[in-house]
Amino acid sequence: MTENASRPAIGLIAGGGQFPLLFAEAARKRGRRVVAIAHTNETLTELKDHADVIYWVKLGQLGKIIRYFRSEQVEETVFAGTITKTRIFHDVLPDLKGLTLWSKIDTRLDDAILRAVAATLEEEGIQVLASTCYLDHLFFPRGVLSRKKPSAAQMEDIRFGWSIARAVGSLDIGQCVVVRDRSVLAVEAIEGTDAAIRRGGELAGSGAVVVKVRKPGQDFRFDLPATGVGTIETLVAVKGAVLAVEAGESLLFDREAMVRAADRAGIVVVGLGEDEQGDLRC
């Protein structure tokens, strides 16, 4: 048992990026003792400075996670941060618990895997909470964030891309598409958003429109769509034109830096939502 055990513990199953750090900071401000499970080659080492205690595991070591949580009396946890999905083919070291679970999963899709892991944790008495439980302020806002507004032609591409992205999401494949002139240039799959933007942007040459939406029935406990300054940097590299994101259903990191980068490059950043008739509105 670690020090400061009088504070109620919350587990943090951490992937990469800054989201786990932000969650740990917010949870500690709410009086929680943060017990972090960090993944080798994924989680930022700085997490150790934001959590009360940290344990390192390899991808697939579910049994270890459960044992660590039990030793710290963790009864609630969240998933936060990204896992490079291509690692499932070459950088997994599952323990017996992980192997048993993996063999039971029929489809190796994002939500199917995470729901199976969450179900196993809850069978062990560890409730999985929404990753945004202390971070509502990070939701992507509605409206045009950049100085530049989308043109009529870009709005047509956004509407087109939105319907495609929603359809792809319904298959639990990805959350992002890249389009131009109402043609699909790239669909996000296991490679992730930035790689999809690079692939689609190279095909576009310039002027690519990126649309990122939640999956229908998105489980807010994990794998929420997320964007940040890195997304803009990737768009800049391929001379992209627009980033359109579903407002209130995705996360936005480093908002000020992101908007500054977009304005410098003349990129449109807009948060949209559907009205009762299903039409897109800023």
Give tens-digit pLDDT for 16-29.
Answer: 989 999 999 999 99
Question: Is it the case that residue 86 has pLDDT exceeding 90?
Answer: no
Round the CA-based radius of gyration of the chain to a whole number and report it: 19
pTM of the entire structure?
A: 0.82
Average pLDDT over every residue of 68-86: 88
Burial of 196 (0-12, 13-18, 19+ CB in 10 A): buried
Average pLDDT over every residue of 82-91: 58
Whole-number mean pLDDT of the chain?
Answer: 89
| Alpha helix segments (H runs only) across the chain | 19-29, 62-71, 96-104, 110-123, 152-170, 193-204, 229-237, 255-265
Least confident residue range of 87-96, 143-152, 169-178, 228-237 = 87-96
> What is the pLDDT confidence band of residue 5, given thresholds at 50, 70 and 90?
low
Query: pLDDT, tens digit, for every residue of 209-242?
Result: 999 999 887 777 876 788 999 999 999 999 999 9
pLDDT score for 4:
54
Per-residue exposure over 163-193, b if at least 16 CB sit within 10 Å of its own CB, e if not: ebbbebbeebebbbbbbbeeebbbbbebebb
pLDDT score for 2:
46
Quick one: what percent of the chain has pLDDT higher than 90? 66
pLDDT score for 9:
97
Quick one: what percent of the chain has pLDDT higher than 70? 87
